[in-house]
Amino acid sequence: MHELSIALDVCRIAEEHVGVDALARVTAVGLDVGDRAGIEIDNLEFCLEALLGSAPFGSGRPEIRRLGGEELSVTYVEVEDDGGS
């Protein structure tokens, strides 16, 4: 039921790592989610698809690795190079 809150936190973490200007170029956000993390994974994926696919993001996708245990973490963010700096 709280997957949207979690998804918003995932977006916050992504922003902290890539900076607000690069959000539109995020192509993927990797997550590890345990089966005992209290998360409905399909629901989280749905929320992240919606958030990462709209402004300030562009066309990002969640890439969720399902694990055992209580793990709930963001593992990586993939960003398209802007061709410049």
Partner 1 sequence: MAVRRIDVREKVMAKNDELAAQVRDRLHTHGVPSLNLVSSPGSGKTSLLERTLDALGDRLRMAVVTGDVQTQNDADRLAVRTDRLVQAVVTGGACHMDARQISAALDQIDLEDTDLVFVENVGNLVCPASWDLGEEAKVVIFSVTEGEDKPLKYPRMFERSNFCVINKIDLLPYLPFDMDRAVAYAAEVNPDLRFFFTSALTEEGMGDWYEFLVDLADTEREARLEA
Residues that bind partner 1 (CB under 8 A): 1-2, 5-6, 9-10, 12-14, 17-18, 27, 30-31, 36-38, 72-81, 83
CA distances (Å), origin 9, targets 35, 44, 70:
19, 11, 17
| Residues 6 or more apart in contact with residue 6 via CB below 8 angstroms | 39, 44, 47, 72
CB of 32 to partner 1, least distance (A): 9
Q: Contact at 8 Å (CB) between 22 and 55?
A: no
Nearer to partner 1, 10 or 52 (CB): 10
CB of 33 to partner 1, least distance (A): 9
State how far the Cα of 79 lies from the Cα of 23, in Å rounded to an integer. Answer: 8
CB of 57 to partner 1, least distance (A): 15
